[in-house]
Amino acid sequence: MSEPLSRRRFLQLSGAAALGATALAACGSGGGAGGDQITYWGAFQTKDLEKYFKENFIDAYNKAATGADALKVNMTVKQIETIDRLTQTAVASGSGPDLIATFGPAQTLNYVGNGNLLPLDPYVAQYGWQDAFLPWALDAGRVDGKLYSLPANLETMAVFYNPATFAQHGWKPPTTLAEFEALCQDAKGKGMVPVGAGNAEWKPATEWDVTWVWNTFAGPTALYEALTGERRWTDPVFVDAINLLKGWFDKGWFGGSTDRYFTNKNSTVYSQLAGGGAALVFNGSWAFAEIGPYFGEAAGNDATWDFAPLPSLGSGVPAGVQPLSVGAAYSINKDCAQPARAADVLNYFVTDPARQLGTLAATGLPPAPVKVAEKDFPASTDPRVRRQYLALSSGANIGYTTWTFWPPKSDTYIYEQMEKVLVGQLSPQDYCAGLDKVFQEELKAGQRPPVPAPTGA
């Protein structure tokens, strides 16, 4: 499957409207239509997703908007590769859309800092957002006590595996460091790739590994302390985790070898998993939307996939940490001529569990972090997907993804410089020291997104 756009970018965008594949909305002023309609910028990975979104979100809203003060939504489709740049440029020039979609709290923060957004607090009670969203998710959109964005998708990370491969080799999903390393060693000895991985299509994929290793080795509590400035990134617990990851790469456990990791594509990784060439794949729940074509009838094989919670690599860290990812959020432009109507559209796009889970079932794309119960899932929902989102909805044992809770420069540092660690140009100590320097500057400048407290197991 050809995938020119990164998963992360794609799903960050896609999740933007709970559809997973859309980006953003705009209404009224500036580039919009001056208040007589709500204009919307959508960006889609495929024509099918565009069609689904148009029918189930845009057309459905317009059909329902029949009151005297109702405004129609007018969607313009943009290129998904450039929609964030287009939005940024438009907002910077004062002609931006009224409903601004971002890649999550970190990006929203930049718009807040520049005074581009309207507080959403007047609409919280009106639409019952406090009860609709998972509490931590709504809090992620608050800056200095004011709500500036609504979360539009929810992701986490897990271990994907092929049950047939596991049965053949007598493996079980690892829950501890010892089990993980034993499995990798065994797989390597059998000529397999222990962990299918690669960043050829999406350089920031390297931060996925940093994310899950830090969450499972250092643990959410240590991460929370570091994110809030109580602990430094030079702390041995973070350095040791990077050392561990580097050691695994050196052994050729990830992607086959470090140089292969740099050229492995998504198609390679999933094909290896389906064909029994790779034992595990650490990936985000966005894989639900893209893994299908490599397994079963669609791929001309009888392979299946499943996933397990992340193992615990560090002492005192419970297994099954769920690093939270809010890869998309909606806000209202301060210049919006009809902010109340924009809020109504926003509410329609992200809060209805039936619409969110219907989209998940139909497209596999992530829903907004709204409270859901088992009965809310359509019968057609893949049971594996249902299992994951029910676990996420419990709000237990949360962790932190680097692309959601780290400020922008620190986030870039994490994946750019990690490549230098992997090829031996930078030591784990220097890597963490460099991150600490960048992070402390951004923390001081108020650029760190809001961070929910850890919830424990």
Partner 1 sequence: MAIMQVHRSAAPAARPGHAERRTRLRRAAVGFAFMAPLLVVNVVVIAAPGAMSIWYSFTDWTGLGPASFVGLDNYTNLLGDPEFHNALLHNTLWTLFFLTVPMAMGLFGAFLLSHIRRFQMLFRVAYFIPYVVATVVSGSIWESLLSPDQGIGDGLAAIGLPWLKDVNFLGDPDLALGTVAFVNTWQWWGFLVVIFLASMQAVSPQLYEAARLDGANRWREFWHITLPGIRPTLMFLGLMTVIWSFLIFDYIYILTQGGPAGSTDVLGTLLYRNAFANLQAGYAASIGVVMALVSVIAVSGFLYLRRRGWDI
Note the residues at the interface with partner 1 (CB under 8 A): 84-85, 88, 91-92, 110-111, 113-116, 199-200, 203, 257-263, 268, 408-409, 411-412, 416, 419-420, 422-423, 425
Residue 199 or 322: the one with the smaller Cβ distance to partner 1 is: 199
For the bound state, the minimum distance from the C-beta of residue 408 to partner 1, rounded and expressed in Å, comes to 5
Determine whether 455 is exposed, middle or buried from the number of CB atoms within 10 Å of its CB (0-12, 13-18, 19+).
middle
* Contact by Cβ (8 Å): 1, 342: no
For the bound state, the minimum distance from the C-beta of residue 425 to partner 1, rounded and expressed in Å, comes to 6
Residue 130 or 425: the one with the smaller Cβ distance to partner 1 is: 425
Q: State the alpha helices, DSSP H only, in 251-288.
A: 258-263, 266-275
For the bound state, the minimum distance from the C-beta of residue 2 to partner 1, rounded and expressed in Å, comes to 9
Report which of 178, 451, 218, 212 is spatially closest to residue 317, judged by C-alpha positions. 218
For the bound state, the minimum distance from the C-beta of residue 402 to partner 1, rounded and expressed in Å, comes to 13
For the bound state, the minimum distance from the C-beta of residue 416 to partner 1, rounded and expressed in Å, comes to 7
User: How far is residue 426's CA from residue 417's CA, in Å, rounded to a whole number?
Assistant: 8
Residues in a beta bridge with 157: 284
What's the token pair of residue 321?
């940490």
Q: Percent helix, strand and coil across the chain, each rounded to 5?
A: 50, 15, 40
User: How far is residue 392's CA from residue 386's CA, in Å, rounded to a whole number?
Assistant: 10
Residue 200 or 362: the one with the smaller Cβ distance to partner 1 is: 200
Residue 222 or 426: the one with the smaller Cβ distance to partner 1 is: 426
For the bound state, the minimum distance from the C-beta of residue 116 to partner 1, rounded and expressed in Å, comes to 7
Instruction: Determine phi and psi for 151, rounding to 5 degrees.
Output: -70, 140
What's the token pair of residue 387?
């299992």
Residue 72 or 251: the one with the smaller Cβ distance to partner 1 is: 251
Residue 384 or 409: the one with the smaller Cβ distance to partner 1 is: 409
Helix (H) / strand (E) element for 43: namely strand 38-43
